[in-house]
């Protein structure tokens, strides 16, 4: 763990919470343990694999680090045996998804900057990293991906978190506090949107 650095540690944290959201989604769909493992792994690793392929970090970290595979398995075991308790601690999929969203938008943007992408492309890749796993989870579990109907601010919090992380990075402000703060901002926006029903507008003339 000490060799991973701050981005790697945050990446593993995002992988864990996204894996929990994937495993909980499998429980809600009444899938067996194999389905739980598949949804947990894909939700946790999908966005990061896409990020690494885009920036040319091949093979992706998910295929070079045992931790990237074992962490989702550990999350699946946790949910398999204690999903009622997990759900009571942090309600259902939403909170874990919001946490993964916040962590991945930051790690995606920072890794893109490390590979010398422009600030604009770093922000875009941060968003892609954050929403990729959730899109795969929703598609496999038979739901319309949340990013396609961003009515409770799914992609927008990731965009804000990635933008803040990128701006701070270019201002010379690095470190776990800065990264965690940017992730917490995205997490807070997502949770607040769900809590108070904040919504993005539809096309003009289209009613709810």
Cis peptide leading into 29, omega within 30 of 0? no
Distance of alpha carbon 102 from alpha carbon 162, whole angstroms? 9
- What pLDDT does residue 90 have? 58
> Which pLDDT does position 4 carry in this prediction?
55
Lowest-confidence segment of 51-60, 81-90, 118-127, 164-173 by average pLDDT:
81-90
Percent of the chain predicted with pLDDT > 90: 51
What is the percent of the chain with per-residue pLDDT over 70, rounded to a whole number? 91
Name the band, by pLDDT with cuts 50, 70 and 90, for residue 178.
confident
Which two structure tokens, joined as six digits, stand for 95? Answer: 């909170």
Task: Summarize pLDDT for 53-77 with one digit per residue, the tens.
Answer: 999 989 998 898 899 999 999 999 9
**What's the rounded Cα separation, in Å, for the pair 1 and 53?**
23
Report which DSSP code applies to 149.
G
Residue 2 has pLDDT above 50, yes or no: no
pLDDT at 49: 93
pLDDT in tens, 107-162: 999 999 999 999 999 999 999 999 999 899 889 988 888 777 755 688 899 999 99
pLDDT at 33 over 90: yes
CA distance 148 to 160: 18
Measured on CA atoms in the order 42, 190, 5, 90, is the torsion positive or negative? negative
């Amino acid at each position: 763990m000490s060799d991973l650095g701050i981005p790697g540690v945050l990446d593993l944290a995002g992988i864990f919470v996204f894996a929990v959201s994937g495993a909980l989604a499998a429980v809600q769909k009444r899938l067996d343990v194999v389905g739980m493992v598949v949804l947990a792994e894909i939700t946790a690793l999908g966005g990061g694999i896409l990020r690494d392929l885009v920036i040319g970090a091949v093979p992706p970290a998910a295929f070079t680090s045992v931790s990237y595979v074992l962490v989702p398995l550990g999350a699946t075991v946790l949910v398999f045996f204690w999903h009622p308790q997990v759900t009571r601690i942090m309600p259902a999929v939403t909170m874990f998804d919001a946490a993964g969203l916040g962590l991945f938008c930051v790690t995606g943007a920072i890794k893109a900057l490390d590979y010398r992408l422009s600030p604009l492309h770093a922000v875009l890749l941060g968003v892609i990293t954050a929403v990729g796993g959730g899109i795969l989870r929703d598609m496999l579990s038979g739901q319309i991906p949340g990013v396609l109907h961003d009515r409770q601010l799914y992609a927008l919090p990731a965009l804000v978190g990635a933008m803040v992380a990128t701006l701070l990075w270019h201002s010379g402000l690095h470190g776990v506090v800065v990264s965690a703060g940017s992730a917490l901002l995205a997490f807070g926006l997502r949770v607040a949107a769900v809590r108070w029903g904040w919504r993005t507008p539809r096309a003009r003339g289209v009613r709810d």
